[in-house]
Structure 1
């Protein structure tokens, strides 16, 4: 029932906001105008709630699909609007302002659709597991390092094998691939394909290495394609693939067309290939228009997809306008069926009394970036605060959101649910929570975590300093909650 009440409250709030907004646009919001139109508004919105309940628009036990929710919301609105217009005509309510009537009718539709899209976006948010929460165990303990001395005859062999695709791939790229192709015939499978059929048609574990010279950008189901390669390789087997990154694509387009026209073309390309797939209703339209060919992927997404399919990155090199990657089979694929390009992610964090809560944030990284944690950590330097320098997983918009803290704005949902407060210690993953002393763990779980941590009041650098900073805050909060939060809030922002 709590689920139903929450949806009812949201719907009532929408009705109130739309009504007040219509008064503000029509004339002004005052006691007189509310008294003049309040009765009719109550009748209209009350009718809407009754129709919504009769159509079972609100979820109780069953969780509706996006298509069903859209149908129920649309049907409820159409019936409400139709009955309202019929009543206006029947009772000759011609004195009502058309602007006022239309604003309430269509304002209700727009507001409900915005709330529906937001709900569906949160529902489709991607769970980012902590490192210790990853249940996939690696099956590889020793790796054979790829040889540094590339034999000339091995290079020559690859060039001869791939003579028909040399012009398309380029000699430089083939030399790069040649470093891990065995001279012994039959050990490597070399393909130039976009279909899984040419891979799954091969016997399992017959090849030690599989090379595909066609761009991953043109593969319809990239992960299924990579999973097929994984299934045909033995543990420690090697794979070589290539793709065009979003930056390489931009550079190619800007060079291909003359000034002004190149940016105009790129802008349209950006909207169709990068914005459309991220919209709730745009993904199907995008694949209908493009059939998955020539898709745009960032470097982080390319490497992340490879890692999610059970490979570890051995080498990567930008050659001839493409990114070539050599990867080693390390484990079974993750088989992530819930991957999404949506704007939200959620993380499991320790809340009050040790209860695990789901904390929402805006996505600030490219898709599949969560699979690159170990690779990034091993190949990038860390700054003073322990964060990764020049983290290419973070999007341009993500950097802006992080800089002004807007990436944590969805956590206001947790505040409204009573799981977080405005000022307080940061909600931590179970792994990082366990790094604290038992005494600090007990202190932390006495109170709700917060959005604005005491960290910003004194800017500690080491873990010990962070723990001491949080201890001072928690001790002060235990004695004087309101004054402590007010003081720390202004310290953080001023």
Structure 2
């Protein structure tokens, strides 16, 4: 039963049963072989890790290879049947003016009345009608709140590649992409291509199935226990594997970047990094639709941070930029959203960003018990920080501090344990006042002040008088 569950769950998540997504029979056979190899590898690891010596290795592996052989033959026959059925279904429908195939048009030019896809399909549908057909009336109404959809400078596309974006006719002031971000192999390259096509203040509209929406959809398909197994497997295969350098190419060769798991924070952060300002996002029919405006050129971040340990640019002694180490508690590209979240929700009563959707579930736990800040000891060993001292601030946060505190701040290295922990003064204004008090004392007695604040801080943490968040 366990073997069967592993086989079905991994096959489902890796898209093995979506046979219409394979363009050629050879692609299907290669994907089947790789996915089956992954399944057999998982079973092998479990057998040795759990020391299940009662099970015959010959029977287990013999069953696996027999299942692979039968599945390959069955899939090949069914694939041929589907292809024949699809070909018949795509034949022209007599003299009717509108011809529609099962998948959306890749590139639509309503003035010419044709699609730039190799399958040139005539259509009498307007852009508004196409959006209503492909995404629904509620989505059409949402788009209409922001733009005049049938305006001639609005380009409607349904693509996952930057190539189709780059080949749009010049003059677009708004680009709408009906394809989900989840199906894009090179997300930033598509966003960068859109940015390059738009003038300043040009609009871009798209959609994504966020990780939370994805898990909600999975939960509706499976009962409780099976749902948890599927979610964990999906998280491992579609969220962790693409981040690992050794598995990244294998993953994208199998999936071609389709149906990847991605968070709302990562998509919005990617958009900001590619030169867009977020106007609005809204959940409709378990998808998140976003409306953004071009305000800058793309940053072209060639080394984004995905790992559990990352570095944040912060202001250090003499105003120099240092890179502070922390355990990751936020989704990738979240650093681009700090100003947006601040403008959206402001601060909590203890000086933290309110309703910060960038935080992961495990990140909230780590922050609660200060675990995310342990890597700052690396900065201490490098001589960039001290054990006790002012908080290392970003440029935007530093700009909000009073001038007198700014002048004192840049004279000292930031510290792992900030003054507000010792003085029990949480909150933006209270934290600033705690730093002012600490810096005034430190100017007079540097060593004794740090010892005093260290003892008070440790006592407050041990006695649960204060928490990180």
SS at match of 1:260: helix
1:257 to partner: Cα distance: 2.5
Distance 1:343 1:165 in 2: 40
Provide Cα deviations, 1:25-67, integer angstroms capped at 9, x if missing partner: xxxxxxxxxxxxxxxxxxxxxxxxxxxxxxxxxxxxxxxxxxx
1:352 to partner: Cα distance: 4.7
Structure 1 position 368 matched with structure 2 position 336: no
User: Structure 1 329/474 Cα, relative in aligned 2: closer, same or farther at 3 Å?
Assistant: same
Counterpart position of 2:68: none
User: Structure 1 179/427 Cα, relative in aligned 2: closer, same or farther at 3 Å?
Assistant: closer
Counterpart position of 2:229: 264
TM-align CA RMSD: 2.9
Structure 1 residues without counterparts, runs of 5 or longer: 1-157
* 2:326–2:374 contact (8 Å) kept in structure 1: yes
Counterpart position of 1:186: 152
Counterpart position of 2:185: 220
* 2:160–2:179 contact (8 Å) kept in structure 1: yes
Q: Work out which of the residue numbers 432, 442, 446 in structure 2 matches 1:474.
A: 442
1:434 to partner: Cα distance: 6.7
Structure 1 position 323 matched with structure 2 position 288: yes
* 2:441–2:449 contact (8 Å) kept in structure 1: no
Counterpart position of 1:493: 461
Distance 2:328 2:179 in 1: 30
Q: Counterparts in 2 of 1:136-175, with a 5 A limit? A: 160-161=126-127, 163=129, 166-175=132-141
TM-score (normalizing by structure 2)? 0.64
Structure 1 position 275 matched with structure 2 position 205: no
Counterpart position of 2:270: 305
1:218 to partner: Cα distance: 0.4
Distance 1:413 1:375 in 2: 30
1:253 to partner: Cα distance: 0.7
Structure of higher CA gyration radius: 1
Q: Work out which of the residue numbers 260, 263, 273 in structure 2 matches 1:295.
A: 260
* 1:436–1:467 contact (8 Å) kept in structure 2: no
SS at match of 2:374: helix
Please say which of residues 363-372 and 161-170 is displaced more in the overlay. 161-170
Structure number with higher relative contact order (C-alpha < 8 Å, ≥ 6 residues apart): 1
Counterpart position of 2:162: 196
Counterpart position of 2:100: none
Please say which of residues 340-349 and 443-452 is displaced more in the overlay. 443-452
| Alignment size in residue pairs | 336
Distance 1:440 1:183 in 2: 51
Counterpart position of 2:216: 251
* 1:308–1:371 contact (8 Å) kept in structure 2: yes
Q: Counterparts in 2 of 1:346-365, with a 5 A limit? A: 346-352=311-317, 356-365=321-330
Provide Cα deviations, 1:122-147, integer angstroms capped at 9, x if missing partner: xxxxxxxxxxxxxxxxxxxxxxxxxx
Distance 1:324 1:434 in 2: 33
* 1:443–1:474 contact (8 Å) kept in structure 2: no
